[in-house]
């Protein structure tokens, strides 16, 4: 017996649930890619992406996922043999560093762990020690989707400047853009990248990169440049240069609608919605944790991301079984544990097109699974989330 009929619900940190209006926006004929309508569509999106990154710089849209945008960033500013400093706080900055290494950069990892955020003081100390300025770029993820940590990008930016180090500060916002504040220019970020399929509520397949003047200066002498990713090529006179070929017309219509939806809600409201729903999830997990088996992965409350929560599962209990029950019996797809937390955790995504019924439904189903699988847990987790929202979302 199952209770999974109807639409499967994705609580995975990418791809995420898309609003119906985003799906509908793609149901149309393709555009003439040389038409004025196409040019206007691109110009409007580039302008709005600048707003989302909070930068005066003009961004680039790639037909690629986040891994593609990582490569776009690296290839545009680095040369083989350049040194890159990866700020570890889970899986994703390290994976970005692995790409850099495969492309011929020398990669140093500033050791962190998957239960806490990057410490800005450690970044400053490491950069001060690099007196010959051999480090050319610093890679960090605002939210590490594996650990559920949020790094303080503003504070790390201050640490970089306090060290007086000229390395480019490059930030991955794949799991945070549109969900949490990000201020590229104000925080001293030189290059920011993101993707379409998480907080941006758009199908997988688009990614975004914004680069400031310092990054463009490095670009001029970068030796890893290749034609498809190259910023100079994409700045070319013709519209088709923007995409280095055929525009991803339908994905652009979807993105247009997603950004319209987001701006209609207002970024401040969207950030607050994410914060409220994330806190509801954390209240539930904390209550379940009273059973001695489950717990929040990130120890420090202010370092917990508002877009994804990694839940640790104590030894003797298999997160894969919980996940399988939620999926096969109830139609809820949870994120699996990845990186250091593989086999030790599951993840609840709460980013993008999420609302109270989706989150409370998700928590409710997890609680059903905890009961069915006899996993010890404090009673009333979903109730704690309900009580919290009832108090925090005023009438
Ligand atoms: C998902 C994710 C990526 C990778 O994006 P893909 O589109 O899967 O290539 C990179 N960084 C972060 C923080 C992510 O969450």
DSSP 104-161: T-EEEEE---TTS---HHHHHHHHHH-TT--EEEEEEESEETTTTEE--HHHHHHHHH
**Continuous H helices in 194-300:** 213-220, 231-234, 249-265, 267-288
Q: What is the pLDDT of residue 58?
A: 87
Q: Which atom of ligand 1 is nearest to the CA of 176?
A: 13
Q: What is the pLDDT of residue 80?
A: 98
Pocket mutation for ligand 1, best pick of 153, 175, 191 (most atoms within 8 Å of C-beta): 175
Q: Which atom of ligand 1 is nearest to the CA of 65?
A: 7
Q: Which of 227, 213, 374, 381 is nearest to 290 (CA)?
A: 381
Residues 6+ apart with CB under 8 A from 381: 283, 284, 285, 286, 287, 288, 363, 366, 367
DSSP 385: H
Pocket mutation for ligand 1, best pick of 96, 145, 150, 197 (most atoms within 8 Å of C-beta): 145
Residue burial 86-109, b: 16+ Cβ < 10 Å; e: rest = bbbbbbbbbbbbebbeebebebee
Contact at 8 Å (CB) between 109 and 64? no
Residue 75's Cβ-count burial label (10 Å; 0-12, 13-18, 19+) is: buried
Stated length of the chain: 395
Ligand 1 contacts (CB < 6 A) are 14, 65-67, 92, 141, 143, 145, 172, 174-175, 195
Could you tell me the distance, in angstroms and rounded to a whole number, from the CA of residue 66 to the centre of ligand 1?
Answer: 5
Q: How far apart are CA 132 and CA 108, in angstroms?
A: 15
Give Cα 15 to chain centroid, integer Å.
11
Phi, psi (degrees; rounded to nearest 5) at 223: -95, -10
Q: Which atom of ligand 1 is nearest to the CA of 207?
A: 7
Q: What is the pLDDT of residue 224?
A: 98
Could you tell me the distance, in angstroms and rounded to a whole number, from the CA of residue 104 to the centre of ligand 1?
Answer: 21
Q: How far apart are CA 3 and CA 245, in angstroms?
A: 46
Structure tokens at 287: 């209550």
Find residue 61's DSSP bridge partners: 208
Could you tell me the distance, in angstroms and rounded to a whole number, from the CA of residue 173 to the centre of ligand 1?
Answer: 9
Q: Which of 73, 151, 82, 140 is nearest to 110 (CA)?
A: 140
Could you tell me the distance, in angstroms and rounded to a whole number, from the CA of residue 174 to the centre of ligand 1?
Answer: 6
Whole-angstrom distance between the N-terminal and C-terminal Cα of the chain?
39
Q: How far apart are CA 313 and CA 297, in angstroms?
A: 9
Q: Which atom of ligand 1 is nearest to the CA of 146?
A: 15
Q: How far apart are CA 288 and CA 286, in angstroms?
A: 5
Could you tell me the distance, in angstroms and rounded to a whole number, from the CA of residue 14 to the centre of ligand 1?
Answer: 8
Q: What is the pLDDT of residue 121?
A: 98
Contact at 8 Å (CB) between 80 and 136? no
Structure tokens at 41: 């569509």
What parts of the chain have a pLDDT lower than 70?
A: none
Owner of token pair 């109807």:
6
Q: Which atom of ligand 1 is nearest to the CA of 14?
A: 1
Q: Which of 391, 319, 393, 333 is nearest to 362 (CA)?
A: 333
Name the 3-class secondary structure at 333: strand
Q: Which atom of ligand 1 is nearest to the CA of 173?
A: 13
Q: How far apart are CA 321 and CA 82, in angstroms?
A: 44
Pocket mutation for ligand 1, best pick of 13, 62, 66 (most atoms within 8 Å of C-beta): 66
Q: Which atom of ligand 1 is nearest to the CA of 308?
A: 15
Could you tell me the distance, in angstroms and rounded to a whole number, from the CA of residue 182 to the centre of ligand 1?
Answer: 17
Residue of the CA atom closest to atom 2 of ligand 1: 174
Could you tell me the distance, in angstroms and rounded to a whole number, from the CA of residue 70 to the centre of ligand 1?
Answer: 9
């Amino acid at each position: 017996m199952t209770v999974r009929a109807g639409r499967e619900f994705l609580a995975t940190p990418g791809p995420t649930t898309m609003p119906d209006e985003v799906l509908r926006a793609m149901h149309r004929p393709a555009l003439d890619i040389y038409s004025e309508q196409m040019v206007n569509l691109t110009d409007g999106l580039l302008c709005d992406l600048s707003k989302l990154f909070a930068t005066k710089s003009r961004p680039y849209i790639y037909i690629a996922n986040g891994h593609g945008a990582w490569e776009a960033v690296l290839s545009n500013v680095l040369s083989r043999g350049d040194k890159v400093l990866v700020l570890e706080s889970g899986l994703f900055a390290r994976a970005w560093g692995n790409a850099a290494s495969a492309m011929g950069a020398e990669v140093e990892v500033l050791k962190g762990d998957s239960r806490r955020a990057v410490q800005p003081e450690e970044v400053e100390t490491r950069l001060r020690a690099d007196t010959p300025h051999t480090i050319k770029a610093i890679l960090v993820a605002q939210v590490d989707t594996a650990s559920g940590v949020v790094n303080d990008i503003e504070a790390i930016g201050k640490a970089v400047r306090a060290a007086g180090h000229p390395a480019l500060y490059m930030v991955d916002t794949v799991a945070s853009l549109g969900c949490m504040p990000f201020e590229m220019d104000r925080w001293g970020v030189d290059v920011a990248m993101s993707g379409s399929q998480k907080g941006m509520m758009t199908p997988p397949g688009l990614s975004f990169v914004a680069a400031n003047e310092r990054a463009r200066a490095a670009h001029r002498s970068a030796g890893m440049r290749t034609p498809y990713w190259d910023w100079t090529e994409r700045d070319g006179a013709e519209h088709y240069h923007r995409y280095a070929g055929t525009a991803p017309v339908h994905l652009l219509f979807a993105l247009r609608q997603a950004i319209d939806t987001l701006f209609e809600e207002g970024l401040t409201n969207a950030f607050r919605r994410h914060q409220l729903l994330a806190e509801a999830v954390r209240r539930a997990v904390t209550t379940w944790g009273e059973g001695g088996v489950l717990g929040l992965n990130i120890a420090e409350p202010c370092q917990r991301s508002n877009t994804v929560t990694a839940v640790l599962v104590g030894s003797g209990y298999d997160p894969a079984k919980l996940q399988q029950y939620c999926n096969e019996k109830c139609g809820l797809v949870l994120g699996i544990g990845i990186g250091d937390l593989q086999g030790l955790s599951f993840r609840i995504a709460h980013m993008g097109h999420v609302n109270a019924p989706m989150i409370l439904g998700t928590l409710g189903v997890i609680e059903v699974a905890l009961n069915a699988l006899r996993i010890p847990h404090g009673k009333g987790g979903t109730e704690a989330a309900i009580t919290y929202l009832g108090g925090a979302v005023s009438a």
